[in-house]
Structure 1
Amino acid sequence: MSKTNASLTPTAQESILGMIHGRQLAHETVVRECDLANQVGLSRTPVRDALGRLEGGDFLRRSGRTLLANRRRAWRFARDPRGPKTDRGVAAARMPLCIVSSRKSRIEAMNDAKSFGSVERWDADQELHTAIAHASGNGLFERMVAECRLRTGMFGMERIPSRFESGRAEHLATLGALHERAAEAVGPLMDAHIENAKLAVVRALTGLADL
């Protein structure tokens, strides 16, 4: 995938997900790549990549060769995006301090949502969650985090802009606890972060968010 197409994939993903939630693509509606490319004003390559991500997150499903919108998946995700419970605090406390400092500095620098694009914000968020998962040394936990990130990635800041400041504060609080090696504090902070993200998704799905 070219760099241009890679940077446009999140935009296509946001647009298509918005169509699913806004019922322009109702549940079980047939999804066609060429039609969507015209509707969102992008080339077919980023649209195709976005469809692959959405299918991987079960927001789209296949019936034979036909791709269908799966709006009900969003509601199942909103009820619980985490999957199996894991002692995230103990796992995260293993993260090297140099990585904690690096992730903290990057997130601290992102103090204005308008100054950073969605791709850059996603990358910073991804770096932090991936580092925590990798620090656990648990392959199952890493796969769980990867799946959770895939699902939450469907709800970007363009759909829930009010989560920028609160999400950033939650990340910094978690990183502060990690720096102090306060494993007992990290787990609750991470759980609160996930719960707040989940509630924001629910509000977006019900039209209550500050969109």
Structure 2
Amino acid sequence: MPRRPSSARKASSRQQPASDLSVLLAPTEKSLSQLAYERILDLLVKRELPAGTVMQERRLAEFLDISRTPIREALYRLETEGLVTRAPGNSLIVKEFSLGELIQILQVRQMLEAEAAILSIDRISGKDLDDLEAHILRLREHGDPQAAENREVDKRFHELLAEASGNAVLAGLIRDLRLKTQMFNLSRLPERFAPVHNEHLAIIAALRAKDPNAVRAGVGAHIENIKLSIMRKLGAIG
């Protein structure tokens, strides 16, 4: 379990007197469950809870300073999303995604994200595209930006296109698949910062031109290049 942050805030679900205004302002059990989910998910994506880690309710509750019921609900949600799985003995562990699973995930992302981007053509605003392009150009001109900055802009790019599709189900599927991609241990793989920026800029240009064929080709090439880069690197490692 990673070290507990000093700023972890207390999220208690203890009952307060009905006359106490704090009971009306306190987090509900539902919001505590969402908070627990988001905090655990962040630990998973950052791989502070690596693949194979046993997810113990009690320890997570103590670490996050949240009661066990919201933790249990968050773990159930993560299990239904396929990010944690049952091990022999019925314990929950962080799922380890194989290369084969990652390739399949990327293949599905290729289809879904291309469709989402095409649907977004008439919905996405010029301002959103301008803002996104400005962030990408700033990173590209920086020369040696932090990996976290690049990943944040990458996240913003893919989320914007998915949400602008106007299809909440499609956006949710893309979100879940992207989370699974992030769960794969890519720490030994090269960062593709410059190529990714150029691919994103090409997609933005296609969206501005309202050219569905160019949008589909751009998104397809972008995810295909990610897949090929991973396969080449892992082949060299193996």
TM-score (norm 1): 0.67
In structure 2, what is the equivalent of residue 179 of structure 1?
A: 208
**Structure 2: which 5+ residue stretches go unaligned?**
9-38, 65-70
Contact 1:61 1:69 in 2 (8 A): yes
Q: Kindly tell me: are residues 11 and 151 of structure 1, through their superposed partners in 2, closer, same or farther at Cα, counting changes over 3 Å?
A: closer
Q: Which residue of 1 aligns with 2:145?
A: 115
How far did 1:82 drift? 4.7
**Map of 2:54 onto structure 1:** 32
* Offset at residue 175 of structure 1 (A): 1.0
2:86 aligned with 1:62 = yes
Aligned to 2:19: none
The aligned length equals: 185
Alignment RMSD (CA, Å):
3.9
For residues 56 and 184 of structure 1, the distance between their equivalents in structure 2, rounded to whole angstroms, comes to 35
Q: CA deviation at 1:126?
A: 1.4
Q: How does 1:70-89 map to 2 (within 5 A)?
A: 70-71=95-96, 73-83=98-108, 85-86=111-112, 87-89=115-117
Taking the aligned partners of 1:3 and 1:93, their CA distance within structure 2 comes to 44
Q: Deviations over 1:86-128 (max 9, x none)?
A: 423421312111101111110111124733242x222211111
Shift of the 74–55 alpha-carbon distance from structure 1 to 2, 3 Å rule, reads farther
Q: 1:159 to 1:175 in 2, by over 3 A?
A: farther
Distance of aligned partners of 1:149 and 1:80 in 2 relative to their CA distance in 1, 3 Å threshold = closer
SS in 1 for 2:106: coil
Structure 1: which 4+ aligned runs deviate by more than 6 Å?
1-6
Residues 78 and 199 in structure 1, CA contact (< 8 A), matched pair in contact too: no
Residue correspondence of structure 1 range 68-147 to structure 2 within 5 A: 68=93, 70-71=95-96, 73-83=98-108, 85-86=111-112, 87-94=115-122, 95-111=124-140, 112=142, 114-118=144-148, 120-147=149-176
* Contact 1:82 1:144 (8 Å CA) reproduced: no
Where does residue 32 of structure 2 map in the other structure?
none
Runs of 5+ unmatched residues, structure 1: 26-30, 38-43
Q: Does the 8 A contact of 2:199 with 2:222 survive in 1?
A: yes
Structure with the larger RCO, 1 or 2 (CA within 8 Å, 6+ apart):
1
State the 1:62 CA deviation: 1.6
Identity percentage of aligned residues: 23
- The change in CA–CA distance for 1:195 and 1:117 in structure 2 (over 3 A counts) is closer
